[in-house]
A and B are shown apart, each in its own frame.
Chain A
């Protein structure tokens, strides 16, 4: 289903769509306020962008350095070419430890690899421990936002869900009460899991350590109780030095939720005695994207979600309208790299307003890449009615006389056709909008009479 169809479906529930828009605007507003308390905010964005440029230009070397250091620290490093390999590696580790249940902290990479259904198919119980993730997992839904996975749900929905799943009091919508119930439920799962899976926010090449940021401390809870920690990391998450972290940690939380810093920024360097840390370095299309000159800097993304909160399209159409793991503006430039046909409507789900680019903490030129993807997509679609009409338009606009004749025909039609035809189903513009009144003469005609 295309983005326009899903977006118009989302907008059917006008009250909910309005609430969704306002909720995310509230987050963006918080971001605006807190980012303006940092005088050097724009310099920080520049710096982050430059660090990431350097990473992308030397990705191979940083990855080798990271692997070397991590191994020296006692971490077991695995490489996965694609989602399938990633899933097999994770399953292999679980099987070696005869592990039947895992706890998992938020990781968009594992969503991208569809790890949950894969593990479940292989008889493993997977429990997402981020509260929002647990909620969507109960509903058998993917996250609708990469930072706020359950932002599309209201308190009432969650109250009903928890009543059904966790036997909370019916109709009790108190967030503290519901959160407490979730906490008790998750504690049980934490205590029972031998293996904890986490994502990775930053891998430090210089030291071979990695950093996981959560607001709920759920990554730490899982990892500290488990014997084995499996960290799944996209290869673009590398940063050169530990001191670069200061730049990214300041930008990440402020951009994501308007907080000064994420509550828990946990560094993992080497396994405790008797325990294991595994890291799976995943490509899954990233080197292909790196090879696309116009699109490679989309790999700078630190997954803060700010472009979603600011995007007027995302706010009014919801995460699911994009039909991709990473929705919103950044998803619309990452996803076509994976499957240009499947995601062909996404780069058009934008007015190219540029807000995503201005909000991006690592300065990805998102709206320009949306424009560039449009050019690629129409090329991949070959000749069709649209491409022919564009060629005709070019012919008309290249010749003044042709433009004049076409213009007057169009104006004439609008002026003399009855409203029943002008506003028929064929005219999408006129469904909910009046057309401009047709003036008696064009500017060109006026100019000829009055100035020449």
Chain B
């Protein structure tokens, strides 16, 4: 247990700006689990929006700043699979910092994988009596392998389910298309607006038709997209980041 390790909290820019409660829940959750987590104040963004739009080469300054901000931590934890994947897979090499970047790639974790793989959380004491539908965000799911992919012939696993199953009263709802994309996809949400919204609507329908009360996931970006559509269409679903559910259950 890395109780005496220094954990740097990496909060994606849009979470900082629009979903401070998700960041607060992440911090409080880590604290409840006995971690020394702190938030480096100088952090900004990982650079993913630019890189996915085809401008990875213009993220050199952003990446360099990221490495400098987090270099002194033992672990870096973020409530976003997508941003973590970006740092690992697509942040451009910074001349002279390659080794540091390599080390950083092994220290950075998405929240649920940090809880299951590093903290090895096995006995969460808490209750959350609701029917919960999990949206497996693609970059975390297939990129970081936070769960088994329905396309592959491999035994079932899900780091999120492993955690949520420990919470008393929480009912995990099975979906028809377990790990289909919601259609967010960063700039895709805007450049392919019609498709993006259609995919989101279909995703919501899968949750609604299985009686989900609260839709959760590990990435606020997908949730922001899905919540935006549900609200516009006045659909009776609540949305919470998995950090919020775990933190609330543990209080």
Contact = CB atoms under 8 A, between A and B. Distances in A.
A174 B47 CA distance: 55
Contacts of A399: 44, 65
B243 to A, nearest CB: 12
B150 interface: yes
Interface string B34-45: 000011011111
Contacts of B227: 434, 436
Contacts of B208: none
B230 to A, nearest CB: 9
Interface stretch (B97-105, B157-165, B178-186, B210-218): B178-186
B18 A439 contact: yes
Contacts of A438: 18
A390 B60 CA distance: 11
Given A398-B65, A451-B39, A434 B228 contact: yes
A58 interface: no
Interface string A1-24: 001100110010000010001000
Given A428-B190, A429-B228, A11 B142 contact: no
A283 interface: no
A353 interface: yes
Contact of B228 (A11, A374, A386, A433): A433
A98 interface: no
Contact of A378 (B55, B60, B142, B191): B55
Given A354-B138, A390-B58, A391-B58, A310 B16 contact: no
Q: How large is the interface on A (under 10, 10 to 19, 20 to 34, 35 or more residues)?
A: 35 or more
Interface string B137-162: 01101110000011111100000000
Interface string A352-377: 11110111000000000001001101
A61 B177 CA distance: 45
Interface residues of B, number: 78
Contact of B153 (A42, A375, A395): A42
Contacts of B141: 354
A313 B138 contact: no
A386 B190 CA distance: 14
Contacts of A434: 227-228, 231-232
B50 interface: yes
A17 B18 contact: no
A432 B50 contact: no
B225 interface: yes
A386 B61 CA distance: 18
Interface string B19-43: 1110110010000000000110111
Interface stretch (B108-116, B118-126, B192-200): B192-200
B44 A396 contact: yes
Contact of B20 (A8, A32, A36, A441): A441
B150 to A, nearest CB: 6
A386 B53 contact: yes
Interface of B is mostly: helix
Given A349-B192, A351-B183, A378-B55, A11 B21 contact: no
Interface in A394-452: 394-400, 403, 407, 410-411, 428-429, 431-436, 438-439, 441-448, 451-452
Interface in B225-242: 225, 227-229, 231-232
B172 interface: no
B225 A312 contact: no
B198 A348 contact: no
A338 interface: no
B158 to A, nearest CB: 15
A41 B152 CA distance: 8
A397 B45 contact: yes
Contacts of A439: 18-21
A351 B189 CA distance: 9
B3 interface: no
* Best-buried of B16, B186, B190 by chain A (most CB within 10 Å): B16
A348 to B, nearest CB: 6
Contacts of B24: 443, 446
A393 interface: yes
Interface of A is mostly: helix
A358 B54 CA distance: 23
A312 B38 contact: no
A411 B57 contact: no
A436 B224 contact: yes
Interface in B53-106: 53-62, 64-65, 90
Given A41-B153, A312-B180, A394-B61, A443 B15 contact: yes
B248 interface: no
Contact of B38 (A3, A436, A446, A451): A451
Contacts of A229: none
A42 B54 CA distance: 32
A436 B44 contact: no
A141 interface: no
Contacts of A317: 195
A357 B207 CA distance: 25
B232 A432 contact: yes
A350 interface: yes
Given A351-B138, A433-B197, A4 B191 contact: yes
Contacts of B90: 371
A410 B17 CA distance: 9
A139 B186 CA distance: 38
A350 B185 contact: yes
Given A352-B185, A358-B151, A447-B41, A433 B54 contact: no
B200 to A, nearest CB: 8
A407 B228 contact: no
B175 interface: no
B188 A350 contact: yes
B229 A442 contact: no
Contact of A354 (B50, B55, B143): B143
A11 B195 CA distance: 8
B44 A400 contact: yes
- What are the 3 A-B residue pairs with the smallest beta carbon separation, nearest first? A351-B185, A433-B228, A398-B61
Interface of B: 11, 13, 15-21, 23-24, 27, 38-39, 41-45, 47, 49-62, 64-65, 90, 138-139, 141-143, 149-154, 177, 179-181, 183-200, 202, 224-225, 227-229, 231-232
9 contacts: A8-B193, A354-B141, A393-B62, A394-B47, A394-B58, A397-B44, A439-B19, A443-B39, A444-B39
